[in-house]
């Protein structure tokens, strides 16, 4: 790491258990091919990523709604230099798409050559289980 004299710190491995009990329907939904958002029963505001609580009206009474799959790309980037835990992947494209429900979704965009992608293009949002078993979602050609 360094040409100067150094000593190594003691090594630790960090893996956190992230609670998902309040958004379990979302994570289960991905396995069934559905992408859910939440909608506040009191004020009607729609949340994606799904939120168990509504900071607008402080209600915790939420409905689960399935998002439509049609999205329009607002921006994108092709990530070439990848972080440690993404080294095993080929360079990937991340995009932000706007759905007709008014919410935006950030996800990978697959199935296109980079030169085919442009701001304003129509794509489809789909749920997916990654080869490693992660429940996720991505944009694909409509």
Partner 1 sequence: MRKVAVIGVGNSKFGNRSDVNVAELAFEAVKPSLEDAGISAKNVEFVAIGTAGAGAWYEELLPAVVAAEYCGLTKAGLMRCEAACASSSAAFQAAYSTIASGQADIAMALGVEKMREIDTPTAMEWIGRAGYYLWEFHNFGLTFPAYYALHATAHMAKFGTTEEDLALVAVKNHKYGSMNPIAHLQNRITVDDVLSSMVIASPLKLFDCCPMTDGSAAVILASEEKVKELGIDTPVWVAGIGYSSGTANLSKRLDYVGLEASVQAAQMAYKMAGIAPSQVDFAEFHDCFTIAEIMAYEDLGFCPKGEGAKLIREGQTEIGGKIPVNMDGGLKAKGHPIGTTGCSMIYEVTKQLREEAVERGRQVPLKNYIGLAHNVGGTGHYCYVTILRR
The helix/strand/coil state of 116 is: helix
The helix/strand/coil state of 22 is: helix
The helix/strand/coil state of 32 is: coil
Taking the least distance from each CB to partner 1, the nearer of 3 and 32 is 3
Min. distance of Cβ 60 from partner 1 in angstroms?
19
Taking CA atoms, 74 is separated from 22, 58, 77, 88, 91, in Å, by 29, 30, 11, 28, 20
Sites of contact with partner 1 (CB under 8 A): 1-4, 6, 9, 18, 48-49, 74-87, 89, 92, 94, 96, 103-108, 114, 118-120, 130, 134, 136-137
Taking the least distance from each CB to partner 1, the nearer of 32 and 134 is 134
Report yes or no: 44 and 65 within 8 Å, Cβ to Cβ: no
Min. distance of Cβ 71 from partner 1 in angstroms?
11
Min. distance of Cβ 141 from partner 1 in angstroms?
19
């Amino acid at each position: 790491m360094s040409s100067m004299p150094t000593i190594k710190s003691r090594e630790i491995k960090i893996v956190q258990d992230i609670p998902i009990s309040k958004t379990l329907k979302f994570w289960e939904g991905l396995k069934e091919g559905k992408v859910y958002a939440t909608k506040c029963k009191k004020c009607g505001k729609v949340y994606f990523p799904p939120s168990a609580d509504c900071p607008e009206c402080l209600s915790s009474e939420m409905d689960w709604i399935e998002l439509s799959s049609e999205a329009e790309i607002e921006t994108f980037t092709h990530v070439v230099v990848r972080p440690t835990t993404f080294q095993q992947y080929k360079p990937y494209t991340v995009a932000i798409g706007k759905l007709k429900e008014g919410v935006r979704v950030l996800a990978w965009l697959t199935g296109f050559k980079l030169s085919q992608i442009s701001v304003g293009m129509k794509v489809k949002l789909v749920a997916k289980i990654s080869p490693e078993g992660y429940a996720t979602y991505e944009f694909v050609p409509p």
